[in-house]
Structures are given as C-alpha cells and as structure tokens.
C-alpha cells in the first residue's frame, strides 16, 4: 500500500514537472475562472447587502403633517397596523425623535444643521413591510397611505431598489456566464494537459499494461495531477479573491458612512464560505478534466 | 498450460490473420511459432496475452478461458505471462535495475521483495554488474537480456517472445536462446515466434508452422522448413 502510494505521488510529481508549461497554463486558467466565479458570488452578496440596507430598517417612511392632530396620528397608526398581511412593523418617531435623527444625519454638515428645528422637521412612521423584495406591492401600499388625512408624504426608495435589482441581475448573469465559460476552458485545458502527459509516457503505459498493472493504478497519478492543478488554481484564485476583497473593503470604508456604500462590503465570514466552495469547485474541475482524459487515452 | 480451440481472428473482411487454429501447449514446454511475415504468429501471441480477442473459438490459459474473462481480470492474467519483444521496449530514462524493478513496482510488490528479486534475476541473465547503466549504454544483446529479466522477474508461468533474436547477430542470438532455454528448464512455458531458421534448427524444440493464418505443421523436435 505504502509502496503504491509512494509510486503514485512520485509519478504525479514527475509528470507535473515534465509538463511544466501546460501545467502552469492550466493552473492560471483555473485560477482566473474560479476567481471570477468567487467574485460573482461576492458581488451578488454585496448587492443583497445593499438591497437589504435599503429595504431593511426603514423601508418606507410615512411623514405626518405639522398641523396634524393627535387623533389624525392615531388614525394613521391604526390604518398602518390594520394591514398585517402587508406591514410587519410600524414605529412612530415624534418630532423630538425625528430632530435627533436629522442631527445625526447632518453631523458632517454644520451649515444644514443650523437650519434644523422642531418647526421644519416632521414626525414620521417607519414602516417595515412583510416582503421587502416585492417592489410593486410596496408601491401599492405607498399609494394607499398617501391619501390618508394628516399624511404629508410617503417616501419609498423604489427607484434606488429597482436600479440595484437591475444591476444585480445584469452583473449576475454576465459574470456567471463568463465564469462558466472559463471553468469549461479549465476542464478542457486540464484534459489536454493529461492527454499530453499520457502521450509522453505512452511507452511506460504500454509496459505497465503488459506486466499486469491495473487500469486504476495507471490512471491514478494522472488523475491526481489534474486534481492538483484544479486545486492549485482554486488556492491561488482564493488568495486573489481575499486580497481583492480586503482592498475593496478598506477602500469603501474611506467613504463617509452616509454615502450609502456600506452594504457593498462583504464580511461576516461569507468570503471564507466562498473560498471553501471555490476549492471544492477547483477539485471538481481538476477531477473531471483528468478523469475523462485518463480514461479516454489509456489505450495510447 | 495453453489451449486454442478452433480460433479464427480477422482484422477486416479481407484480412484473416488466423483461421480455425487449434493446439495445446503443455506446462514447461518450449514451442516455436514459425512462418513468413503476416502468417499469424504475432496474432497468436497477442491472443494468448488477451491483447486481441478471436471472432471464433476460445483461448485457454492456465485453465481459464481468457476470452470470457472480464477486462478487470486481464491485469492479473498478465502477471502470469512475461512478454519479450524484438525492439526490447525498455524505458530509456530508467537504469537496468529500474527497468526490471518497474515491472514489480507497478503491480504493487513491496520494496523488500523488489530489493531481493531484481538483483537475483539480473544475475540470472548475466547483467549483475550493469544494473546502474541506462539502455543506451548497453549492446543489443544486453538490452534483450534486460527485457528478459523484466519479463521473468515476477516468475511468470508463461513467456511469450516475439522475434527476440530478430535484431541481434547470430552469436548474441544464440546467447539469448541459451538463456531462454535455461528459463524454460525452471518450469516456465515458452512460446516464441521467430524467422530465425538457424536457431530453430539448433534448439530442436516443438515447431508450429503457420501459413496465411492456417497451421500447416505441428512437429515435436522440429526444424525450420
């Protein structure tokens, strides 16, 4: 068993070093394709984060008229709470609460801060819908509440959400297609590397078959070679992804917090999950490419 | 040890390599297959090694019908058969020792067995002092001895030799034949395809003569005709 393992590893290493140019090409292609795949997942997650930032917390704000009586405010609250199928949570922010929020928002802008007072800051209801992603449903809620007495206006970031949704879909489709094409190219390149390696060693394979080596014994070093190429591509691609993500994160954090870009930072262990998936995918790409070649070209 | 029953092998509708061939080879027997090029000698050897399958008939080796054997069992069959070729089929980037050890290594023999059996077989074929040389540093006869050592190192039941003296001068060829005879006397069955009239006449072993795929003569202690 140990002698077989030693033989397999030795032959795999010898083949890798003999076939260096093709090996490097296969590793680079796997690296680029897996990096692109990983970055696609991160971009998708970044859009999800950003969308949930828009749609989470305050999804819709119902501003109340300055002159609205407490009865009108109570009617608005009652109307909002009477739609539990559409509205999950309602929080009232009176004028003093609203003023405190506004002061936080304009903390970096002393000129605007000067003009803030209880007279020009409206009280409002922060409304959280049941389904945050159904923009049409949210728009219908907005329209029905705009007509309520005492309501000044209903603000809802529908345009921003729609743009972000479209961008997510645009990037998602294109980057998934590109990474899919590149992953296929990686499989082909690994397949070709193994084919070349087997052709270079056709005499050895012939002798091995004649002296009674099993097909699995002959195939195994070639299959491990392909597996290693896929894994190496995944490891380098993952390192590139983590470095790129760290660079992006530090770049985004230099922007002011109210710039609205905070959601585009992907942290909380998600990049590590992506890396784990990339390594699995790299191993799969290497194994598929080499196993098909090793089976197809055994009769050299 | 080997039995062929009404074996027919065709490569296309027009090329019949072997037609209705039947014979038995006993354990420890030495058999020459003779005949002109294209008469079916190499095809017979390939059928015995399960490199080919016949269209008709059956081939039995060591009591088993190898045509019905599953592909996964073929490597185990070949561990009982040694092959020797006219062009030696040595690996040029490996030393004599490594070439012979390779045959044991790839069937998973442990290192201590390889360390014990390789020098012994190299001693048997007369290459004891040349184990660190590469094939290109050896003469044709020596290369063929390496090939024989590789075929015999696993102590197979049968040796199949396809024109083993074809590339050698008469004196070197005689040396190879003496070696094969010595191996045969250890109980190994030897089947050898050859054109070499002088060697067949010298050895006086059983001769099976083929002509266009048909066995035309099967003679004990025969000569080349």
Specify whether the CB–CB gap between A211 and B79 falls below 8 A: yes
In angstroms, the separation between the Cα of residue A14 and the nearest Cα of chain B is 12
Q: How much is the pLDDT for A48?
A: 76
Q: Which residues of A touch B110 (CB under 8 A)?
A: 3
Q: How much is the pLDDT for A58?
A: 44
Considering only CB atoms, A3 lies closest to which of B49, B77, B110, namely B110
Query: Within an 8 Å CB–CB cutoff, is residue A200 touching chain B?
Result: no
* Backbone CA torsion sign across A252, A258, A262, A264: negative
Query: Within an 8 Å CB–CB cutoff, is residue A209 touching chain B?
Result: yes
Judge whether residue B174 has pLDDT over 80: yes
Query: Within an 8 Å CB–CB cutoff, is residue A203 touching chain B?
Result: yes
pLDDT tens-digit series, residues A60-105: 788 888 888 888 888 888 888 888 887 888 888 888 888 887 776 6
Taking CB atoms and an 8 Å limit, are B77 and A212 in contact across chains?
yes
In angstroms, the separation between the Cα of residue B27 and the nearest Cα of chain A is 20
Q: Which residues of B touch A208 (CB under 8 A)?
A: 102, 106
Question: Closest Cα to residue A140, out of A125, A126, A152, A158?
Answer: A158
Taking CB atoms and an 8 Å limit, are B89 and A4 in contact across chains?
no
Taking CB atoms and an 8 Å limit, are B109 and A3 in contact across chains?
yes
In angstroms, the separation between the Cα of residue B223 and the nearest Cα of chain A is 30
Query: Within an 8 Å CB–CB cutoff, is residue A5 touching chain B?
Result: no
Specify whether the CB–CB gap between A50 and A263 falls below 8 A: yes
The stretch A147-169 carries a mean pLDDT of: 77
Between CA B197 and CA B199 the distance in angstroms is: 6
Q: Which residues of B touch A202 (CB under 8 A)?
A: none
Q: Which residues are within 8 A (CB) of B97 and not within 5 positions of it... i.e. 6 or more apart? A: B118, B119, B122, B131, B132
Long-range interactions of A154-163: CB distance < 8 A, separation 24+: A154/A60, A154/A61, A154/A62, A154/A63, A155/A60, A155/A61, A155/A63, A156/A59, A156/A60, A156/A61, A157/A54, A160/A54, A161/A51, A161/A54, A161/A55, A161/A135, A162/A135
Q: Which residues of B touch A8 (CB under 8 A)?
A: none
Q: Which residues of A touch B102 (CB under 8 A)?
A: 204, 207-208, 211
DSSP string, chain B: -EEEEEEEEESSSS-EEEEEEEEEE-TT-EEEEE-STTSSHHHHHHHHTTSS--SEEEEEETTEETTSS-GGGHHHHHTTEEEEETT----TTS-HHHHHHHHHHTTT--HHHHHHHHHHHHHHTT-GGGTT--GGGS-HHHHHHHHHHHHHTT--SEEEEESTTTTS-HHHHHHHHHHHHHHHHTT-EEEEEE--HHHHHHH--EEEEEETTEEEEEETT----
**Residues present in chain B in total:** 225
In angstroms, the separation between the Cα of residue B76 and the nearest Cα of chain A is 6
Q: Side-chain half-sphere of B24: how many Cα atoms within 13 Å?
A: 5
pLDDT tens-digit series, residues B77-122: 999 999 999 999 999 989 999 999 999 988 888 889 999 999 999 9
pLDDT tens-digit series, residues B33-80: 999 988 999 999 999 999 999 999 999 998 899 998 988 899 999 999
How many CB atoms sit inside 10 A of residue A166's CB? Answer: 10
Q: Could you tell me which chain A residue has the CA closest to the CA of B83?
A: A210
Size of interface A-B (CB pairs under 8 A): 55
Q: Which residues of B touch A209 (CB under 8 A)?
A: 75, 78
Between CA B19 and CA B15 the distance in angstroms is: 11
ipTM: 0.86
pLDDT tens-digit series, residues B184-195: 999 999 999 998
Q: Higher confidence at residue A150 or residue B142?
A: B142
Considering only CB atoms, A206 lies closest to which of B89, B107, B108, namely B89
Taking CB atoms and an 8 Å limit, are A212 and B75 in contact across chains?
yes
Judge whether residue A57 has pLDDT over 50: no
Specify whether the CB–CB gap between A187 and A289 falls below 8 A: yes
Phi, psi values for residue A253, rounded to 5°: -70, -15
DSSP string, A131-172: -TT-HHHHHHHHHHHHTSTTEEEEE--HHHHHHHHHHHHHHH
């Amino acid at each position: 068993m140990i002698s077989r393992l030693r033989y397999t590893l030795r032959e795999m290493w010898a083949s890798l070093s003999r076939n260096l140019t093709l090996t490097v090409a296969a590793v680079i292609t796997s690296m680029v394709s897996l990096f692109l795949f990983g970055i696609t997942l991160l971009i998708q997650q970044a859009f999800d984060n950003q969308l949930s930032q828009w749609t989470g917390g305050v999804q819709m704000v119902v501003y109340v008229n300055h002159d609205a009586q407490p009865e009108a405010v109570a009617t608005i609250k009652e109307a909002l709470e009477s739609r539990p199928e559409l509205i999950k949570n309602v929080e009232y922010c009176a004028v003093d609460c609203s003023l405190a929020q506004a002061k936080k928002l304009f903390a970096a802008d002393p000129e605007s801060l000067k003009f803030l007072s209880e007279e020009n800051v409206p009280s409002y209801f922060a409304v959280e819908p049941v389904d945050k992603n159904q923009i049409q449903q949210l728009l219908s809620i907005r329209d029905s509440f705009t007509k309520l007495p005492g309501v000044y206006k209903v603000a809802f970031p529908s345009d921003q959400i729609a743009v972000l949704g479209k961008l997510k879909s645009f990037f998602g489709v294109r980057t998934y297609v590109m990474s899919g094409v590149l992953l296929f190219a990686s499989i082909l390149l690994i397949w070709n590397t193994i084919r070349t390696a087997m052709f270079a060693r056709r005499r050895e394979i012939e002798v091995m078959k004649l002296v009674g080596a099993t097909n699995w014994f002959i195939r195994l070093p070639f299959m491990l070679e392909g597996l290693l190429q896929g894994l190496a591509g995944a490891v380098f691609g993952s390192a590139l992804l983590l470095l790129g993500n760290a660079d992006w994160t530090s770049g985004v954090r230099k922007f002011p917090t109210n710039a609205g870009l905070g959601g585009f930072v992907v942290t909380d262990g998600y990049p590590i999950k992506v890396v784990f998936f990339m390594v699995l995918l790299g191993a799969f790409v290497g194994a598929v490419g080499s196993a098909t070649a090793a089976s197809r070209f055994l009769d050299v | 040890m080997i039995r062929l029953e009404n074996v027919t092998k065709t490569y296309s509708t027009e090329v019949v390599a072997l037609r209705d061939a039947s014979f038995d080879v006993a354990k420890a027997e030495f058999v020459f297959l003779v005949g002109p090029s294209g008469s079916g000698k190499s095809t017979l050897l390939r059928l015995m090694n399960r490199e080919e399958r016949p269209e008709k008939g059956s081939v039995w080796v060591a009591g088993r019908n190898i045509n019905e054997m599953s592909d996964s069992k073929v490597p185990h069959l070949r561990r009982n058969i040694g092959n020797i070729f006219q062009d030696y089929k040595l690996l040029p980037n490996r030393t004599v020792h490594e070439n012979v050890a390779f045959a044991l290594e790839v069937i998973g023999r442990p290192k201590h067995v390889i360390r014990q059996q390789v020098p012994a077989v190299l001693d048997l074929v007369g290459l004891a002092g040349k184990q660190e040389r590469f094939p290109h540093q050896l003469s044709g006869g020596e290369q063929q001895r390496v090939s024989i050592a590789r075929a015999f190192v696993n102590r197979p039941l049968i040796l199949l030799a396809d024109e083993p003296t074809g590339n050698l001068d008469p004196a070197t060829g005689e040396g190879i034949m003496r070696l094969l005879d010595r191996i045969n006397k250890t109980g190994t069955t030897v089947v050898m395809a050859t054109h070499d009239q002088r060697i067949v006449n010298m050895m006086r072993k059983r001769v099976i003569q083929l002509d266009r795929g048909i066995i035309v003569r099967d003679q004990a202690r025969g000569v080349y005709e």
